Amino acid sequence: MDKRKQAIEKAVRKTLINIGEDPDREGLLRTPERVARMYDELTAGYHVDPVKLVNEAIFEVDYSEMVLVKDIDFHSLCEHHMLPFFGKAHVAYIPDNKVIGLSKIPRIVEMFARRLQVQERMTQQIADFLCEVLHPMGVAVVVEGAHMCSMMRGVKKANASMVTSALTGIFKSDPRTRAEFMEHIGRRRFDD
């Protein structure tokens, strides 16, 4: 077992004791190990090589209209309370003779979501990364999220959601392009 997982297990065991639990009781015996594995999975985005992620999936194409992948499910952890937030991401770009493989956009979202995050930064990171690898005419990212930290604690508002956006290039400068994007993400799915 690596040192990082051992350290997490030790910290979880100590936390259980500090909240008044017995880490040696039957239901909690393997909890430190499970939590360590969970954090390994939920923070896997720190260990993704972005270059390998898009490796050989950028193609020269004579296409300059909007490409949109919407309703991408994501789960992340709020960096302030380490509680989950989750929702949907909508990602569009206008190519400048380069497109990226369809499966790569959800993987890019996941790479940034699988970290300790704030939704605002995650939204911007997705847009910035696509700009960096594609050099498109513009990128638009809208993320809708529900945050357990505001549902379970603090204000306790279960129905509140957060919407963040990052717009670059033509999406920022041309209201018609931005409106087209917003219209597309507001439409129901074709299979609903």
- Candidate list 78, 90, 117, 124, residue with the active-site label: 78
47 as an active site residue: the answer is no
**155, amino acid identity:** V
For position 192, what pLDDT does the model report? 66
Q: What angle do CA 159, 163, 164 make, to 5 degrees?
A: 155
C-alpha closest to that of 116 among 155, 150, 71, 85: 85
> What's the CATH number for 52-186?
3.30.1130.10
pLDDT along the chain (192 residues), means of 10: 91 98 97 97 96 92 96 97 97 98 97 98 98 98 94 82 97 98 89 70
Can you name the CATH fold of 3-42?
GTP Cyclohydrolase I; Chain A, domain 1 (1.10.286)
> CA dihedral defined by 48, 45, 167, 69, rounded to 10 degrees?
80
Question: Which listed residue (131, 149, 180, 184) is catalytic?
Answer: 149
Residue 174, amino acid: D
3-42 and 52-186 have identical folds: no
Structure tokens at 184: 């597309």
Give me the residue spans of the domains in the chain.
Answer: 3-42, 52-186
List the catalytic residue out of 75, 80, 120, 135.
80
Q: Whole-angstrom Cα distance, residue 114 to residue 110? A: 6
pLDDT attached to residue 158: 78
> Is residue 119 flagged as an active site residue?
yes
* Phi, psi (degrees; rounded to nearest 5) at 139: -130, 140
78 catalytically annotated: yes
Longest dimension (CA), the chain: 63
184: annotated active-site residue: no
Give residue 184's pLDDT.
96
pTM of structure: 0.93
Catalytic residue among 6, 75, 79, 135: 79
State yes or no: is 9 an active-site residue.
no
Residue 81 among the catalytic residues: yes
